[in-house]
Structure 1
Amino acid sequence: MEARKQEEKLKSVNLDDWLPITSSRTAKWYYSAFHNVTAMVGAGVLGLPFAMSQLGWGLGTVAIVMSFVITLYTLWQLVEMHEMVPGKRFDRYHELGQHVFGERLGLWIILPLQIIVMVGTDIVYMVTGGQSLRKFHDLVCQGRGCNDIRLTFWIMIFASPHFVLSQLPNFNSISAVSGAAAVMSLAYSMIAFCTSAIKGAEATAGAIDYGLRATTTSGQAFGMLSALGTVSFAYAAHNVVLEIQATIPSTPEKPSKKPMWRGVVVAYAIVALCYFSVAFAGYYAFGSSVDPNVLITLDKPRWLIAAANLMVVIHVIGGYQVFAMPMFDMIETVLVKKHQFTPGFWLRFVSRSAYVAATMFIGLTFPFFDGLLGFFGGFGFAPTTYFIPCIMWLMVRKPKKYGLTWFINIICIVIGVLLTIIASIGGLRQIILDAKNYKLYS
């Protein structure tokens, strides 16, 4: 009797009008730009100079430029496939996967990878936020005798606002947070670029070592693998692009793909400016001695680097929410549909707070910035970003075999598969190496 009442209550509620992805479809094209910039220009851009130090000038430049081109192409594919069936919108990545691969297989192919990406990114953002807060504190307190505070506490401080922000109901409600984060990402990237370029120009000839970071052959090989994962981590928006597009209104006369693509183009222009400038200037300034987070390496001018680290904190607060929102959507869907919970404040409050607490706990337990970038970049990001969109495109659009489009997609698939394998290995090795010298909750 109770179960029947619960079922009738659920029927009276249109779940799509409550879930965070579909409850509001009033977004503008610039919301897409905000969310995409916030999703991409984050922890990834700060790790690119370190990736360059493991790859060198030649291979590093090729990896970053090629990743930019491939991911822009696969992002276009996803935007195009959002409404490829007349009258239907694939509001979530896994829904598109289910349409292409089948109801059950599509779910098992896409959903685990997407969860790894979104949870992994939020964990990395917890670490990034904590590290940037500590760097800000250290720079401000330099010479003033302040006490050293463990990274564990900084991560907890960074997590605190997320318990509040996570209660915002849907994607459109975080547009202001995302917009501020996008502005901050551009600002701190330009600070990193300018200060690195000046430092590199002031260095005496031959003072900077541009050789590969590792000294042993095995170290260099595994470093390259991890660096490729770091590069792939930098292009993360694919995992939330359909969810972002779902918030844009659409009619047969004005499909959502037009404003969505306009936002993506603006976002990628900003991404190009940030990524290429920071990656090359950071490596130019420090060579093989650059830290996994380039802003941690920089220390002069002190006030400017302190401000940049504070900007990183603001940005990753917004970035965390952009990746968390699809996770909230998944969690709430399962709790309501499978476990018969009633949609409402308490369900949202408890489930979202638990998610924030879980990512915080994992982040302060395993704060290995460079290893996490490499591992998550290879294992999760590479499939959903580099080759799964191409496989779906071949299956749905069926381009002429051995034609130009067919070859482009096959090349992307081969590169993506190789990247998934080698970057995962490199990232996992880096985590193991970091763990040897790590003291728990230090």
Structure 2
Amino acid sequence: MLFGFLARRRNRLSPARDQKQKKIDDMADIEGIEAGEVLLPKQETEEHERKGTVWTAAAHILTAVFGSGVLALPWSVAQLGWIAGALALIGFSCITYYTSTLLADTYRAPDPVTGSRNPTYTEAVRAYLSPRKVNICGVVQYVNLWGTLVGYTITAAISMKAINHWLYQDGYESKGDVSSTVMLQFGIVQLILSQLPSLEKITWLSVMSAIMSFAYSFIGLGLSVAKWIVNGHIGFLVGKSALSPGEKTWNSLQALGNIAFAYTFAEVLIEIQDTLRPSPPENMTMKKATFYGMGGTTIFYLAMGFAGYGAFGNNTPGNILSAFGCFRPSWLVGIANICIVLHLLGAYQIYAQPIFAVIESRVAARWPEVNFVNWMYTINVPVFKQVSISFSLSKLVLRSIIILITTLVTMMVPFFNAVLGLLGAISFWPMTVYFPISMHIAQKKISRGTPKWLFLQSLSIFCLVTSLAVTVGSAVDIASSLKLPE
């Protein structure tokens, strides 16, 4: 599933493979092709058989969108209120859907139906925009991927702490350093998972992550509805009361960032589209899949946000499941938190694999003759005779360093809502709005000053201002939480 289409990016980043592909594109070494030393274009480019349909693509979208961000939606609605909360959820959904349809047309270039394939987001940007924008896109994409790892570690730590408290009651709740401890434990598990061979081909991990995300989301919704019925909270039209104007402003901006983060999936849209069969045209299939996926997501998000706010009112927590610590049956809350941890075990690797791939490929290109980089070691597993583990020292060291840095940064800024808001602000405008709009203008050759050009630029500027405001709000909250000067 998601491992499949994200991992193919890794294969393309191999320096040797890039060199071979260049030979094929140039068609210069005819003798090599005839002798079989160089693969034919069809053999090289058809790396996988594309059999995806509108329903498989919609399933991938739901898997990519449903995640830890859904747990912050009740808190977001509590800050904005019933009216603004609903408008924000619907507004971000409509913007994401519209720009996703523009992005779907860039899968092929120059024509969206008959052009050449661009199997990754960066390659689509390269086909339409300048090299400088390609570099900017790459930086933003990988920063967002790494930031997502930080957000996932925080979410997993919160759930692991809740599980400990559920199993041992007050035995773990009283320890002040439990958050750092469980973050370190989660990082150690991720370090082990990152060393497994061909992790991107283990589809069961992606399937498990998808099932777990749906499980805890619906458990959270069900518990919220049950508590809402029992307590009968109504809430306020303008959101949480008894806040100063400054606190209200910063919280509202964070709420917008959380909602943006919950809808973000542009980073993997092109990769999802690359799994679709060519007939009917991939862009048409992807637009339908996006409509179904975003429609279902929006309905669920509205229900989750309203139910959580209705259940807890002004006391709605940042992570809705953390409010059910004393709820009965407690085992259901425990299962929901276990599902979160299991989901994030796989989701973490989905977002980490592209980071590993780009760093390892650059190291291999920089030092192609060094044994530390290229020499593979194989260890046979004693219990399973036909199972062996292959690894290189560079893979072991580089991946360990990345996970260690991620864990240490997370331990310094363990603020769930502020981090999610910051991630949403960083990723939403450039990846979901700016690049799709810019590529669409270049593809359709929309002239400057025309009504459509003005509409697209106005939409981009509006989303940019929103993202900047959310960034400031989240940064202020993080600085305040760290007790740093604002």
Tell me how far apart the structure 2 counterparts of residues 325 and 265 of structure 1 sit (CA, whole Å). 28
1:141 aligns with 2:174: no
Q: In the TM superposition, what is the alpha-carbon distance from 1:223 to its structure 2 partner?
A: 1.7
1:20-35 correspondence runs (5 A):
28-29=52-53, 32-35=57-60
Please, which moves more after superposition, 365-374 or 328-337?
328-337
Q: Structure 1 residues 303, 354: closer, same or farther in 2, change over 3 A? A: same
Aligned partner of 1:58 in structure 2 is 83
Aligned partner of 1:387 in structure 2 is 434
Corresponding letter in the other structure for 1:363 = T
Please, which moves more after superposition, 111-120 or 142-151?
142-151
Contact map agreement 1:36 1:264 (CA 8 A) in 2: yes
Q: Structure 1 residues 358, 151: closer, same or farther in 2, change over 3 A? A: same
1:435 aligns with 2:462: no
Contact map agreement 1:383 1:420 (CA 8 A) in 2: no
Q: In the TM superposition, what is the alpha-carbon distance from 1:23 to its structure 2 partner?
A: 6.2
Corresponding letter in the other structure for 1:107 = V
Aligned partner of 2:457 in structure 1 is 410
Aligned partner of 1:180 in structure 2 is 208
Matched positions, count:
423
| SS of residue in 2 equivalent to 1:212 | coil
Tell me how far apart the structure 2 counterparts of residues 290 and 74 of structure 1 sit (CA, whole Å). 32
Contact map agreement 1:24 1:170 (CA 8 A) in 2: no
Corresponding letter in the other structure for 1:153 = T
1:127-206 correspondence runs (5 A):
127-142=154-169, 148=175, 150-167=178-195, 173-203=201-231
| SS of residue in 1 equivalent to 2:109 | coil
Please, which moves more after superposition, 231-240 or 321-330?
321-330
Tell me how far apart the structure 2 counterparts of residues 22 and 337 of structure 1 sit (CA, whole Å). 24
In the alignment, structure 2 segments of 5+ residues that lack a partner are 1-14, 23-38, 40-44, 377-390
1:281 aligns with 2:328: no
Corresponding letter in the other structure for 1:276 = L
CA-based RMSD of the aligned residues comes to: 3.3
**TM-score for the superposition, normalised by structure 2:** 0.77
Contact map agreement 1:34 1:178 (CA 8 A) in 2: no
1:36 aligns with 2:98: no
**TM-score for the superposition, normalised by structure 1:** 0.84
In the alignment, structure 1 segments of 5+ residues that lack a partner are 1-8, 438-442
Which one of the candidate residues 92, 104, 108 is aligned to 2:135?
108
Corresponding letter in the other structure for 2:294 = Y
1:310-321 correspondence runs (5 A):
310-321=338-349
Corresponding letter in the other structure for 2:438 = I
Q: Structure 1 residues 79, 350: closer, same or farther in 2, change over 3 A? A: farther
| SS of residue in 1 equivalent to 2:116 | coil
Corresponding letter in the other structure for 2:16 = L
Tell me how far apart the structure 2 counterparts of residues 290 and 155 of structure 1 sit (CA, whole Å). 24
Q: What percentage of residue pairs aligned between the two structures are identical?
A: 26
Structure of larger gyration radius: 2
Which one of the candidate residues 127, 149, 153 is aligned to 1:99?
127
Q: In the TM superposition, what is the alpha-carbon distance from 1:381 to its structure 2 partner?
A: 2.8
Aligned partner of 2:297 in structure 1 is 271
Corresponding letter in the other structure for 1:199 = K
Q: Give CA deviations for 1:317-353 in whole Å, capped at 9, x if unaligned.
A: 2221222222223223322334435496314443333
1:277-426 correspondence runs (5 A):
277-299=303-325, 300-301=327-328, 302-340=330-368, 341-342=373-374, 345-346=391-392, 347-399=394-446, 406=453, 409-426=456-473
Corresponding letter in the other structure for 2:423 = F
| SS of residue in 1 equivalent to 2:108 | coil
